[in-house]
A and B are shown apart, each in its own frame.
Chain A
Amino acid sequence: DAGVIQSPRHEVTEMGQEVTLRCKPISGHNSLFWYRQTMMRGLELLIYFNNNVPIDDSGMPEDRFSAKMPNASFSTLKIQPSEPRDSAVYFCASTPGGIGPAGVGYNEQFFGPGTRLTVL
């Protein structure tokens, strides 16, 4: 079975340009997560979706970032305009979803290979 698929794997762009990162979750998974990883801040959750609906976007840095999930098999993370401080590895992850005892999410998340973004 295919894992989480992300594209592109590498993106180099100039400041001010629009960047779109793409993710295809594992088929049948109903929760999708976008993370950003930097040396300074580690792994940060940006936003996550349940059944294509955004649940928590409190980690989205600012209005320049937006994410959509138009259907169960596709999500995008867009940065417009991009800035050098957006340079990072962006991961997408999916999980079968489901809530365990007392409303706690218990499924492990399966991560894609990441997109390494460099903004010059």
Chain B
Amino acid sequence: GIQVEQSPPDLILQEGANSTLRCNFSDSVNNLQWFHQNPWGQLINLFYIPSGTKQNGRLSATTVATERYSLLYISSSQTTDSGVYFCAVEAGANNLFFGTGTRLTVIP
């Protein structure tokens, strides 16, 4: 199956700082999603972004499909942003391939 790599694996930020998370994928994809998994295990879809740029409040995402990567930007981070961020791609099959995630810890 398609390979999805995320970096960095771990990130510690002071509250208020900005960050960029990266997702590289090994093949053409039909779709790409970013998820946030909270400490209780709940996965929440943040963006559905096969290409281009989207913004939602303090979060934005950019996917460059021709170069097979996506970036998630978090600005003015808050402690509630802590958790694991996953990139997941859909590549023809009826399922998502997930990366191993970036664990973000925001400290006050």
Partners in one complex: no
Instruction: State the B residues within 8 Å of A (CB).
Output: none
